[in-house]
Structures are given as C-alpha cells and as structure tokens.
Amino acid sequence: MKVTVLSWLLGLLALLFPFTQGSHIARSASLTTQVQWDKYSLIVNDKRIVLWSGEVHTWRLPVPDLWPDICQKAKAAGLNALSFYTHWGLVNPSDGTLDFDGYRALQPFFDAAKESGLYLIARPGPYINAETTAGGIPGWVTNIEGELRTNASDFVAAYTPYWRAVGKMFADNQVSNGGPIIAVQIENEYYLNWAGDIDRTYISDLENQMREVGVDVPFTFNDASPEGRLLNGTGAVQLYGADAYPLGFSCSSPDSWYTVDTQWTATDFFATTSGEYDEPYFIPEYQMGAFVGWNQTGSSGCRQLTGANFERVFYLNSLAMNIKMINFYMFFGGTNFGQMMYPSAITSYDYAAPVEETRALVPHKYGEFKSLGLWLRYAIDFPQTVPVGNGSAGYVDNSGVYVDELRNVVNNAGFYIGRQTNSSSFDTQTFKLSLNTSLGSFTVPSLGGNITFAGRDSRVFMTDFPFGSKQTLLYSTAPVMLGTTIGSQDVLVLYGELGQTFEIALLGTRGQMKPLSGAANVNITTATESDKIILNWNSISTGVSTFKVTFAEGSVLVLFADMLTSYQLWNPTITDSSEPFGAYAGYGSTESVLVGGPYFVRDVELEDKESIIALRGDLNDTASLWVLGPSHAKGVSWNGVLTKAKKNAFGAWSVDLPGPHSIGSVVTPQLGEWRFIDALPEIEKGFDDSAWTKADHVTTLNPNKPYDGKSVLYSQDYGFMQGNVIYRGHFKATGKEDEVNISLSTGPSGAGSVWLNEAFLGSAYVESTAGIEDVNATFAIPQDALKVGKDNVLTILADHMGFDQTDQTIVNGGTPNDIKFPRGIRGYSFSTDLEWKIQGNYGGNTHFPDRVRGILNEGGLCAERAGYHLPGFDDSKWVKRSPSEGLTKPGVGFFRTEFELHVPKGLEAPLSFVYPDTTGNYRSQLYVNGWMFGKRVGALGPQLVFPVPPGIINTNGHNTVALSLWALDNTTDAKVIDGFSVELLDGTWTTSRDAIVSNNPGWTTRKASC
C-alpha cells in the first residue's frame, strides 16, 4: 500500500501528541475566543467545522418576510453559514442619509439566520462588486474628487457614516454577543490597478473603524486572484482567501469544462507567501452558477454547466486540495429590481443557483448539494485532516481514476476523494480501490464487482468513520449522506447510482444482517468475520432499501437510496432553545429526524410533551412520506395537522399527505384592459421645462473629461444617478444647422434617441462589449423641422445602464475611478450654441419621494416622474390601447392594466411576467405594484421571463401592472409588444412558510413632475 507507513506514523504521532481544540496553536482575532482557527480549520464555539457557506443578498429579494424561507432552505441543504453583501448605495442614497428600513434592514435577516441555525459572514464592502451599479458605491460618491477605494479624505468621509453604522450592527449580532456573525470581510476583490497595488492605509482605516465600534470577530478577504494581497503586513486580515470560478461565465457550451485544479492547495499557497502557514485556506466565492448578461447566448445552459456533476467533481476536488472554508456564490440569487444592475447585467440574478429566482428548488442541483452538505455535517473527523498522497498508482488499478488521500492527524481516519483523471471526461471508469484502515489494507470491493464512475463523477471513500452512539464504518465505497443516532437507533444513510456495485464494512463482533424493506431487487452478499461485517450490493432498486445490522455491541439501521431518491431525504435538527450554540451548524440540539419523500422539510419540533414529531414542510404533489424519529414519539403532525401515521417495516412513521391541489388551485390571472398614454411629452410643442435642472456646468470633478461642447452634461453631476435621463437643448435656429454630433455615454449595451422638436432624428447604440462606454453618432438636421429665428429644442433620451465596476476596467488598464465613467452625454458638437436642461428620476438622489422602494426603483421617464407606475393612480382618462397595438412612431408609450389574484392560503404559486420571443429594437420596463421588476431590451435579450415574488405581488387581491415601451426606430417590431402575459411556469406547491406582509405604497400627486 502506497501510504501505509505514512498513515501509520500519523496515527502514532496523534496518539503521542494529541491536539486539543482551543490549545495554544489555535488563533483568534485576539479579541474573542469564540472564533478561532489553525492550519486545519475554523473553530467556532470550540467546535471544528468545515465552513460550508452560501451567498445570499437580501436586497435582491425586497420582501423581508421571505428571508426566513431562504435561510431554512440553506440549513436544510446542509449549509452551516451564509455570506451576505450589504449595499452601501441602497442605504446611503445621498450624503447625510442612512436608511436601514424595509428591505434595507439587517436585523430581520440576522434573526432569521440565527433561528435557522446558520452562522453569518458579513461583507459590507464598501465596494462589493456583485454585478450591481458602481459595485455598491452610491451614485453621489462618483462625484467626489478623490480616488475611490483609497484613503483620499473625501472618500473616507463618504464611507465612514455607513461603515460605522453597519459595523455597530455587526458587533451587536456577532457570536460574542449571542448573534450569528462569525467574520467580517474587509473590502472586496481589492486592487487599484493592473499591477495589483493596494492602499494599506485605507484598509487599516476600515479595520480600525470596525474594531472601534466593537467588532471582535476575525476579518476576512477575498482576493480577486490568489496573489497574497492583505495576507501580511499593514492591514493584513486574519483569514485570507481568493475567489474561484473554474468554469467562467459563458454558458453557451454547457458540456465544455475546464479540468480541476490539482495544485491549488492551502499548504502550497501559504508556504510560498508566508512560510509555515497557520490558517485554513478560504474561498470566499466558489462558483455555484453564473450570471447572464445582455446579448448572451445559451443562457439556459448555465444550470446544466454548473449542475449536480459540477458540484460533485469540483466541490469535492476543493476539499481534496485541503480547502476547509468555502462560500458558494450564489446559493440564492434573486432579482436586480429597479436600476440595480451594472451595465453588463440583466434583471434576473437567478445565477443558476440551487434555489431559483422564484425560490423553487432545482431538484438535482439542490439535492446533490444537500447530500454533500449533510455528509460534511457528520464527518466530524474531516476538518482536522491533511493531504498525505494522491495519484492513481498504489490506489487504483485504472489510470483513468485519480485519488487524493487525506488523513485526520488525531485518529488517522481516512478520506479518499476519487474522480476521473480527466475530470472533464464523459467516459465510464471501473476500478478497484486500495484502502488503509485500522484493521489493515483492503482492496475493495472485496466481495465482487468493481467501483464505477460514470462520466464526470467523484466520490468520497471513508475509512474508520465514527457515527452514532458507538459505531464505526470501517470503509465504504458508497457515498455516505449521514451517520448519526436518531432516537435510540444508530443510523447510516448511503446512496448511489442505479446499476452499480457498492460495498461497506462495519466494525463489530458476531455481526448479522437482516433486510427490512425495499430490498427485493437488491442482490446483497454478506461476509461476517469476528471483527466486522461486509455488505456488498451488486445492484440496487429504486427507492430506499433498509437493513438491520446487529452486533454484540449494538445495532445499525442501514438505509440505501438510489441517487434521485436520496435527493428527497431530509435531516432537520430538532429545535432546542436551551442549547443556542450546541449544533454543528451553530444553534440548537444535534438531535435530528430523518424524513423521506416530501419536496421540502423546513424544520421539526417535538410537541405535546415530546410525543408528537411536528414537521413543517412543502409538498409539490401527493406525498407518501416517512419519518424516523425519537423512539418515544407517538405520532407525526405536518404543518400543524396531526396525521394518520403508521409504523413501517424499518420503524419509521409512514404518512400519506395531500398535495397542493387538495387545498385549491390557482387560475392563471388574465391581464385586464390596457390603458395608454404617450410618455414622451418632452418633444411636444410648448412643453414647459422651466422647472428642470439647468445643465450649465463648464467644469467637472470627474477625471473622465468631456470630449467636446460648452456644457458638461454628465447626469451624475446634476444628481441623477440611475435610469433613463432626458436632455433638452434649446437654440435659436439660423437655418444653417445641418447636423448634430452626440457622444452618448450609457455604458455597455446602452442606447439613446434624438429628436429635433417633434421630428425623430434617429438612435445610437453602445456596444455590449465590456469596457465600451460610449458611442459617437452624427444626426442630420431635417430643414423642414427647423424653426428659423425661433426657439428649437433637441431632445435626447439616454438609457443609464448603471455605473461600471472596477473588475471590467482594471483588466483593461483602468482604475477604480473608472466607476466614475460619465452617464448621459459625454460631448456634443453643433454649429449653434445650446442651452441645456436635464431631468432624471423625480427628486434626484436627495428628494426622491418613494423611500420604501428606494433610490434605484425609478428613472427619468415622464411616467416614472409622475408616478404613473404606482398602484392607485387613476388612468381612466387614458385611451384604451394595449402593448400589442403599441406605438405609431418612435418614442415612448406607457401602458397600465390590472388583475385580480387569489392564491389559497398555504399554496405557493410563483408568477412570472413573460415577454414575447420576438426581436425588436425596443426597450421596455416592467412595473408590478410600483416596483420595477423587469428591463427588457428587445434587440439584445436574452431574458423573456421575469418572476415577481409574493409581497410584491398581492396574492389575494388587486394588482397593478405597467409597461414602458421605448421604440428606437420606426419598424413594427420596435413599436409593439405582442403577447405579453402573466404565467404560472413553475407550478404550485403547498408551503409552510410564514405569512407575508406587503408594503406597496400607492400614488400621490407629484408637483411639476413632467
């Protein structure tokens, strides 16, 4: 055996020099001992953990009552933590204003995470990237003179109020104060230029201010690439890491994989940067999916590209590389509502996550992730392992298979992580594996057959795995989901693909095996020896097969599920408020139940003097489920209703439950009669813009100077930070004007249209390529449209696509100041002087009226400024006209309609608004009950379906829908939206989530809005 001697030595050293958690080699932030670490793993509340975290952004789900639903789905998936960005730009919309109300609040999320039993990693920025406008930096900060993300005095003054406010909230909710926060990230993917320079004074100030307001947990960092920034020296963080997106973001070829990285180990990295390492390696963002951008083809392939096989191969490979702290980006993506996105991002931020934008579970992806998470929850020996060998020779009899071996340094428990040598291969590999155990070496399967890896497969083979009260799994060739004690019974749950051979060996004397249920189609061979019993399956049946293995020392209930059935197994921990920090995942008792069958199990309690197993969960069809729980339980309730439960062959309660249709169905709502108004009155004769802002600046603090023209026309210089912006340039015509040149600066994928008086001159389009910020276009002046000797107006409607992030500019030689790239008009050339007026969202960034929906919800269209998108506005005097009839000429129209919806209590019915799959040169915005929940660019796509959550949608009552339609040319396809509808695309399921309170303020008069 290749590593027998090394493994034996490790075991001997462990006996001679045992490691004690919290001993002198463990480190902390020198402020709290509740979060410690060493070179093996993180230690929280004296428990070693593999940090298994998922990213969630609450502000992408602006319904706080739904945050517990996401937390519960994260806990059920085996996560022990969530990571979250806070959005400086949303909570600090103008200088001197901090707003942590509504969906910007943090405490409801902290409470939901704690109640679900999840730790939290806070990521406040100030810069967060996150595919959001300016990377989360407020629009008003783009106007300061100092360089962003440095110690420039005006930038420090700008972020300090926000930074100290969120820091105080973190301190109040950190583990040392009984809360869930275990770490705070400092900055994000930070470097100032392509050379990788950083401002350590700036970083030190961020750290010092956090400490000053009471934060005592460690600071983390996510380097954009593993370059060692902030690893040591001034401003060094305690827990360093770097992001990993091994498959990138192109989903057009979902079968195309890069191979896994076999060199990126914590040992190698820290050894080359700081000598002997003393911290676990951290991946603050490991790819869980991919975001979709404008004009991106193959977007439907993202979920396939990063599906269950990707999770199995790449996530296990990361563990094989000795990485013990991983945060997966994104666990739940949500929606870029309003003008939240940066120029290259669309409305959907679904991210091909295991929990969809609608909060539906992605069956295989969520199920596979859950299987890995539950295994880690019970693999208590894994956190304190080190790599001891790898390769094919000495491990397997097939060079097409590659194995990494890790060993626990205390008890020598072994973990062999195998995969195809060519991790991208679709070939099937069969092999035998050599294992080293406490009873010696074994070549397995020993009782016949081979181990099989289907294409793109991976598996953990464990040796000497302790579980339950006093059991040991000597080895297993089957994936282990969990090993624990449920009630008084030790339980081992295994799973695997149909048609394959699996073998396990359990330690114990005088072992006997008895099939209990579901085993009729299982051909099982048993070998009993004095010190162990070996079970070998050479076929398995669909469903769950159960066996009772009895030793002189006790018994084990073995459950074996096929892969798809295993995705329907759930292991909620029983709530125990007396142990707030007892469980592996953070809170509550480690006692649990095992449930098979339902769509989702939310949580479990013991009620009625602990005699009733009270489950809460969701069903997507009629469900026959079973529950293995405490032996003293006398029944099962589901969502508060006592069931008719009976014990089955393996001692679990068997329950038949009605599916969603038993409580009523949802009739897909039909949109009512549409009303229409022309929404570009700015081009009409006599339009009064006297109340508009004069665009008369001749200088700017922006480092990106104007190309041409007397006036600076940057929208941010006048307080308009998002959405469509409208300019009106007045001039007295001489009759010699023949053309006008405009440099339109919208960011990638933006556009603009130009009118002279009421005459349409044309539109211009900015390329979708990252880093292309503007377009220079010349428009001919039609002489018959000029009013010689009189006031004429050039009207320009420009789409503000959001501010850039630094990631797309630094790689092209830029700096963080490129966030300041101007929006609107960067230059103009005209033979006659122009006097400019500008208008954006109503009230700009200081006096916007809709404080509930926030600064990014509205832009500068007349209909937005007047509040026509809000519920309660009286549109009865508008003409009857539908989007399918559209416009008669290039311009902007605004359509409103209403519908009634009645969703039975306890039913989840996610609605989506669907645009027709047609290509037209138009831009459209979707508003539901006043919230902008969709932006569609007909010429770019790719998004047609726009989900809207309950809470934004009134699930029992009246709803208002509005559409803007901006036709950029005179073609029919640009002027109509034929076939817009509301659909129920994900079906329905019963739900046990808590009730939702909507907060959709209605219309009030806005003076001088247009």
- Look at residue 564 and give its three-state secondary structure: helix
Write down the pLDDT at residue 731.
98
Distance between CA 289 and CA 156 in Å, rounded? 34
CB atoms within 10 A of CB 958: 12
Strands 219-223 and 181-185: parallel
Predicted TM-score (pTM) of this structure: 0.95
Could you read off the pLDDT of 326-350 as tens digits, one per residue?
999 999 999 999 999 999 999 999 9
What are the φ/ψ torsions at residue 527 (nearest 5 degrees)? -120, 125
Let me know the angle formed at the C-alpha of 367 by 364 and 368, rounded to the nearest 5 degrees.
85
Distance between CA 758 and CA 684 in Å, rounded? 6
What are the φ/ψ torsions at residue 662 (nearest 5 degrees)? -70, -20
CB atoms within 10 A of CB 780: 11
Asked if 361 and 600 touch (Cβ cutoff 8 Å), the reply is yes
Identify which of 613, 612, 615, 619 has the alpha carbon closest to the alpha carbon of residue 597. Answer: 619
Residue 228 has, within 13 A of its CA and on its CB side, a CA count of 12
Write down the pLDDT at residue 923.
98
Beta bridge pairs of residue 545 = 560
| Residue 126 preceded by cis peptide, ω within 30 | yes
Write down the pLDDT at residue 814.
66
Write down the pLDDT at residue 810.
66
Which residues fall within 8 angstroms of residue 763, CB to CB, at 6 or more apart?
751, 752, 753, 754, 890, 921, 968, 969
| Residue 445 preceded by cis peptide, ω within 30 | yes
Which residues fall within 8 angstroms of residue 331, CB to CB, at 6 or more apart?
54, 55, 56, 70, 74, 77, 79, 82, 288, 353, 354, 355
Write down the pLDDT at residue 578.
54
Write down the pLDDT at residue 298.
65
Helix, strand, coil percentages (3-state) for the chain, rounded to 5, are: 15, 35, 50
Tokens linked to 906: 């306890």
The residues carrying an active-site annotation are 189, 285
Asked if 239 and 227 touch (Cβ cutoff 8 Å), the reply is no
Asked if 35 and 183 touch (Cβ cutoff 8 Å), the reply is yes
Asked if 480 and 556 touch (Cβ cutoff 8 Å), the reply is no
DSSP codes joined into one string, 732-791: E--S---EEEEEEE--TT-EEEEEETTEEEEEEE--SSTT--EEEEEEE--GGG--TTSE
Distance between CA 844 and CA 351 in Å, rounded? 31
Asked if 41 and 376 touch (Cβ cutoff 8 Å), the reply is no
Distance between CA 468 and CA 470 in Å, rounded? 6
Write down the pLDDT at residue 813.
64
What are the φ/ψ torsions at residue 749 (nearest 5 degrees)? 75, 10
Distance between CA 100 and CA 831 in Å, rounded? 49
Look over the chain and give the mean of its residue pLDDT values, rounded to a whole number: 92
Distance between CA 718 and CA 963 in Å, rounded? 27
Asked if 478 and 496 touch (Cβ cutoff 8 Å), the reply is yes
Helix axis angle for 67-76 and 107-116, nearest 10°, is 30
Q: What one-character DSSP code corresponds to residue 819?
A: G
What are the φ/ψ torsions at residue 500 (nearest 5 degrees)? -110, 165
Handedness of CA 461, 466, 468, 472 (dihedral sign): positive
Distance between CA 518 and CA 783 in Å, rounded? 85
Distance between CA 924 and CA 945 in Å, rounded? 13
| H or E segment and range at residue 476 | strand 471-476
Distance separating the N- and C-terminal Cα atoms of the chain: 81
Distance between CA 560 and CA 515 in Å, rounded? 11
- Residues (pLDDT < 70) of the chain are 1-25, 263-277, 298-299, 576-589, 807-814
Tokens linked to 73: 């789905």
Domains of the chain (ranges, CATH numbers): 43-361 (3.20.20.80), 681-839 (2.60.120.260), 861-990 (2.60.120.260)
Which residues fall within 8 angstroms of residue 707, CB to CB, at 6 or more apart?
743, 776, 826, 827
What are the φ/ψ torsions at residue 107 (nearest 5 degrees)? -60, -40
Could you read off the pLDDT of 435-470 as tens digits, one per residue?
999 999 999 999 999 999 999 999 999 999 999 998
Spell out the SS3 assignment of 292-308.
CECCCCCHHHHHHHCCH
Tokens linked to 631: 């032996």
Distance between CA 181 and CA 35 in Å, rounded? 10
CA-CA-CA-CA dihedral for 286, 291, 295, 300, to nearest 10? 100
- In 791-930, DSSP assigns E strands to 791-800, 824-829, 835-839, 879-880, 891-902, 907-908, 911-914, 922-928
